Amino acid sequence: MAAVRGLQLALEGKSGIILCGREFQNSLDESSLQEVKAAIASEPLLAGGYDVGEKVVKTRSAYPGRIEFKFSGLRHNIDSIKSKSQIHILWVDEAEPVSETAWLKIIPTVREHGSEIWVTWNPERDNSATHLRFRKNPPDECKIAEINWRDNPWFPDVLDRERRNDKKRRPEQYGHIWEGEFVSVVEGAYFAEHLRAAREEGRIGKVAADPLMRLRAYWDLGGRGMKSDATTIWIAQFVGREVRVLDYYETIGQPLSAHVAWLRSRKYDKALCVLPHDGEPRNPVADASWQTALEDAGFEVEVVPNQGAGAYMQRIAAARRLFPSIWFNEATTATGIKALGWYHEKRDPERGVGLGADHDWSSHAADSFGMMCQVYEPPRGMDLETEYETDWVV
């Protein structure tokens, strides 16, 4: 369509640029150049209308106007793009990772009368700047089209076999690869299969609190600055053999008073707060810590001792073991569930070696969730491995 539109503009007597951008482009090899060339070569009408060189695509000089294709990376070339004039079409491909800062700078550069901005991407996250700007809250006079494998009249049998194979063998990734869904799990995700099983078994849905059972709040502690780690809290109850996960909270850079306010606003003011080892006082003289501050706010607090080296793997193992007994209230834990689905192993792609858990945006939710599973104690007489009950006590 960019090639078609370029020819139309030249026939109308207009001169200028069709700018093809990607967030990451270090050379023309990483651009849309070859796709544009292939499109022009595929249609005789287009092939006769363009001069195509190794690095150049422009309409023939015989037309009243002259349109040239330019290719640029956005991450490191924003200022050079801002200086370009007569941009009739800005086509940003693979636009998922483009930042809001980039959009704010790029969009005002397209100023020609009748100019358009085209954005194409495979969605990954529902909080990406591209999704928020163009799908969740699209601008006025914006046209949106979802195009998938079903819309391809030349969809080959070999790809359809691959699609069906993914649906059978990689169901947790099928939705993103083939149906345009957001990424819910990544390669090496620790809890992908467990979440898939939970959803298939109906353990992710509507879960109510038991008014007679104690509420528990499991924390991972962050900092005060906006670049600090997130503070996360899972609210859960242990009801017989069930672990009912009722709510999830996550924030960055907020003071303790904000976390306490959330707990009270959700009526969790009587919840037992379970903190990791860094929540206890480090200076016995000052006695200043998350533990003492929460106790001063009226909460009962327990601190989990330091588990030492390999603590994260202990938490992962505990979560995997307990997962068949866990039920999630989806309406209030969806953000946390998404983080659990993303939490994955960091790998060296050259050597295929695992480098431990990737400390990214998902790890804080996973840490507090794993701690909950680690300190869980089943009712007396219940063995998690065998689910054999010998002396049930309520």
Beta strand residue intervals within the chain, DSSP E: 16-22, 50-52, 57-59, 67-73, 87-92, 116-119, 204-205, 216-220, 230-239, 242-252, 272-275, 301-303, 326-329, 345-348, 353-357
pLDDT at 72: 86
Predicted model pTM: 0.61
Token pair of 246 as six digits: 């009722």
User: pLDDT tens-digit profile of 206-254?
Assistant: 999 999 999 999 999 987 665 678 999 999 999 988 999 999 999 998 9
| Cα–Cα distance measured from residue 150 to residue 101, given in angstroms and rounded to the nearest whole number | 34
The pLDDT of residue 392 is 40
Q: Residue 381 has what pLDDT?
A: 54
Right CATH number for 2-145 from 3.90.1150.10, 1.20.120.420, 3.40.50.300, 3.30.479.10?
A: 3.40.50.300
Domain limits, CATH 3.40.50.300, in the chain: 2-145
Share above pLDDT 90 across residues of the chain, in percent, rounded to a whole number: 58
Q: Is the pLDDT of residue 8 over 90?
A: yes
Q: What pLDDT score was predicted for residue 285?
A: 46
Per-residue confidence band for 59, with pLDDT thresholds at 50, 70 and 90: very high
Look at residue 349 and tell me whether its pLDDT is greater than 80: no
Q: Does domain 204-375 have CATH number 3.30.420.280?
A: yes
Of the candidates 205, 217, 242, the residue with the CA atom closest to the CA atom of residue 326:
242
Residues of the chain with CATH 3.30.420.280: 204-375
Residue-wise pLDDT tens digits, 282-336: 654 445 689 999 999 999 999 999 877 778 899 999 999 999 999 999 999 999 9
Among the ranges given (51-60, 143-152, 166-175, 349-358), the one the predictor scored with the smallest mean pLDDT:
349-358
